[in-house]
Amino acid sequence: MALADGIRAAPIAFPQTSPPGYHYLPEEPTYNPAQHLSLKKPSRIYRLSDLGYDKTLVANCPTDVAITDPIRLLSESGVAALREVSLNLRQYKQRCDRIPNMVRGAAYRSRFIRDLCLCPIVTEFLSEIVGTPLAPHSMPLHLGHLNFAPENISEAVDRWHIDTISLDYVLMVSEPSALEGGKFQYFNGTQAEAAVILNHAQDLPPERVVSPTFPDAGYAIFQQGSMVVHRATRLLRQAERITLVNGYVPLDTSFPDQSRFADMKVVDEHSVLLPEWARHKAWLSRNKLDTLIEELPFTSDRAAICAALREAIADVEAAISDIEDTSESKMLYYGR
Ligand SMILES: [Fe+2]
């Protein structure tokens, strides 16, 4: 059921309390958008059709934007503050099969990162770029994900994958010109094409791999990460390489939810993840129920009414089944 014009979901509020064991840094800069932001629109935006997606697949997405050229988000002092905070959070590093050195839950550990990631000025700026209203991701675990250089540089910083979430930016926190390797790259093609090639243990054709040039620290690419196959290559020389990935949700919640529980199940602490998943899915269903309440026509078509009710609560049903399922899951990514 599509949302009627003008009906938009309200963003979900950030939790009032932190998960047990999560504490904010005792000392850190205070986020100040007037001082820390320097917003500059992208010179170019690539559409899903540019990557070869057909109309049917694009119609299921909240925006037809695939990925932007690097856009400036942070000022010099914004970069300095975020770098300082990120280095302080490195003590919480963890790894998974796909990413060897990362920090999750940064929005529960740094007020600076929380406030940057929730900043309404940035959200509005990005909403204009994608052409649809966004909100910071309804699951705080997807706010301010940090990637660091692997300790063993023979490992990729992040292997070929599509994101666990639909929309995000990848922000360069370290000085990109100081890096040898460690490039952010994306595939100029569809996920299905990439899967065929990579699952046959072949490299993606180099002429179809794009390596955007980040002019400086503080620049980010914005992407529909669930549709753009991307990675960060291995470093050729050990160096500081920090990126911050911030997730967003569309406020038009009528599109299929691209957030994947299975990936998070193998990475995140369940005491944080399971309630976040429940809240996120409850938020989606609440919006769909609100739409149903607004729009359900007078009819004696029992099947249509029941189908509308089922569709509205499908996210909650899915969450219950995910949370009840105690089996192990596997993260979706490609080998390289
Ligand atoms: Fe990613």
Task: Break the chain into its structural domains and give their ranges.
Answer: 33-256
Q: How far is ligand 1, taken at its centre, from the CA of residue 225, in Å?
A: 6
Q: How far is ligand 1, taken at its centre, from the CA of residue 4, in Å?
A: 32
pLDDT band of 40, cuts 50, 70, 90? very high
Residue that the structure tokens 């105690």 belong to: 326
Q: How far is ligand 1, taken at its centre, from the CA of residue 59, in Å?
A: 22
Q: How far is ligand 1, taken at its centre, from the CA of residue 239, in Å?
A: 20
Q: How far is ligand 1, taken at its centre, from the CA of residue 252, in Å?
A: 23
Q: How far is ligand 1, taken at its centre, from the CA of residue 226, in Å?
A: 8
Q: How far is ligand 1, taken at its centre, from the CA of residue 285, in Å?
A: 26
Average pLDDT over residues 29-54: 97
Q: How far is ligand 1, taken at its centre, from the CA of residue 333, in Å?
A: 10
Query: Which of 77-81, 115-119, 220-224, 326-330 has the lowest average pLDDT?
Result: 326-330
Q: How far is ligand 1, taken at its centre, from the CA of residue 228, in Å?
A: 9
Mean pLDDT over each residue of the chain, to the nearest integer: 93
pLDDT for position 130: 95
pLDDT band of 68, cuts 50, 70, 90? very high
Q: How far is ligand 1, taken at its centre, from the CA of residue 290, in Å?
A: 32
Record the pTM: 0.94
Which residue would you say has higher pLDDT here, 200 or 53? 53
Which residue would you say has higher pLDDT here, 328 or 225? 225
**pLDDT at residue 56 tops 70:** yes
pLDDT band of 63, cuts 50, 70, 90? very high
**pLDDT at residue 29 tops 50:** yes
Please report, rounded to a whole number, the percentage of residues in the chain having pLDDT higher than 90: 84
pLDDT for position 1: 40
Q: How far is ligand 1, taken at its centre, from the CA of residue 267, in Å?
A: 14
Q: How far is ligand 1, taken at its centre, from the CA of residue 36, in Å?
A: 24
Q: How far is ligand 1, taken at its centre, from the CA of residue 5, in Å?
A: 32
pLDDT for position 2: 45
pLDDT band of 3, cuts 50, 70, 90? very low
Q: How far is ligand 1, taken at its centre, from the CA of residue 284, in Å?
A: 23
**pLDDT at residue 48 tops 90:** yes
Q: How far is ligand 1, taken at its centre, from the CA of residue 229, in Å?
A: 8
pLDDT for position 6: 45
Q: How far is ligand 1, taken at its centre, from the CA of residue 161, in Å?
A: 6
44, exposed or middle or buried, with CB in 10 Å at 0-12, 13-18, 19+? Answer: exposed
Give the E-state strand segments of the chain in sequence order: 37-40, 45-47, 65-68, 71-74, 102-103, 134-136, 145-147, 158-161, 167-172, 184-187, 209-210, 219-223, 230-232, 243-250
pLDDT for position 156: 83
Average pLDDT over residues 214-230: 97
256-259-263 Cα angle (round to 5): 140
Considering the domain 33-256 in this protein, what is its CATH number? 2.60.120.620
Say if CB 184 and CB 211 are below 8 A apart: yes
pLDDT for position 7: 57
